[in-house]
Amino acid sequence: MFNRKSHWEDVYQNKSPLEVSWYQKAPTLSLDLIESSGVVKSAPIIDVGGGASLLIDSLHQKGYSNLSLLDISAAALGCAKERFAALDAKDAVEWYEEDITQFTASHPYSLWHDRAVFHFLTDPVDRTAYMQNLRSALSRGGDLIIAAFALDGPTKCSDLEIVQYDREKMVAAVGDGFEFIGERSENHITPADREQKFGYYHFRYI
């Protein structure tokens, strides 16, 4: 039986964070969407599946002061914790080593960011659990920024099947109660110099 946590621990134990296909030197588009959302810098923000990503570092550097990072992999979180420890800022982030389908937020969030977790949820049961947990965690009026492989993007990642999305599919997946704000596209170039086409979708919880 597939064990999601074991899979991602193996990925991060066998590869440097600089070698994984989703690595970005600068999470420019995510930062742009977060800043353009208008969320104040003291508002609670969670990066879901951020792991070893540099987004949480960039937000901290820009003065966002109420940050949470969730990842299923302890090894991935450890990479980010080491960077913050080097800055003597480990306590600047709330760290959650959890499967997002089983996550219960301890407080509400004003913004939920997910660059590439949701598209791994190929089982409708897992997608339903994700959305239930998202709705429980996000404040009314809060922003959802969610990115996934586009319809002409990859069909697999890290040896796992994924679900490709366009605007119509993502709107349907997110469901009622969310206002669609806009979408952006990105041609991400992996460390192996391969192209991955992403769609980024911005919603507001109404």
- Residue 167 predicted with pLDDT over 90: yes
Residue 12, pLDDT score: 84
What is the Cα Rg of the chain in Å? 16
- Residue 188 predicted with pLDDT over 80: yes
Residues 6+ apart with CB under 8 A from 23: 17, 52, 53, 190, 191
Q: How many CB atoms lie within 10 A of CB 11?
A: 18
Cα–Cα distance between 78 and 92 in angstroms, integer? 15
Go through the domains of the chain in sequence order and give each one's CATH number: 4-205 (3.40.50.150)
Q: Over pLDDT 90: what percentage of the chain?
A: 79
Round the average pLDDT of the chain to a whole number and report it: 93
Residue 140, pLDDT score: 98
Cα–Cα distance between 146 and 201 in angstroms, integer? 5
Range 38-54 burial, b when 16+ CB lie within 10 A, else e: ebeeebbbbbbbbbbbb
Confidence of residue 49 (pLDDT cuts 50, 70, 90): very high
Residue 13, pLDDT score: 81
- Residue 22 predicted with pLDDT over 80: no
Residue 14, pLDDT score: 79
As given in the structure block, the two tokens for residue 78 are 């450890």
Cα–Cα distance between 28 and 8 in angstroms, integer? 25
pLDDT in tens, 59-111: 999 999 999 999 999 999 998 999 999 988 888 999 999 999 999 999 999 99
pLDDT in tens, 108-121: 999 999 999 999 99
- Residue 44 predicted with pLDDT over 90: yes
State the DSSP code for 190.
Answer: P
Residue 196, pLDDT score: 93
Higher pLDDT, 92 or 23: 92
Q: Over pLDDT 70: what percentage of the chain?
A: 99
Residue 193, pLDDT score: 86
Cα–Cα distance between 19 and 30 in angstroms, integer? 20
- Residue 191 predicted with pLDDT over 90: no
Report the pLDDT averaged over residues 136-165.
96
Segment (H or E) for 153? none
- Residue 197 predicted with pLDDT over 80: yes
- Residue 33 predicted with pLDDT over 90: yes
DSSP secondary structure string for all residues of 54-111: SHHHHHHHTT--SEEEEES-HHHHHHHHHHHHHTT-GGGEEEEES-GGG---SS-EEE
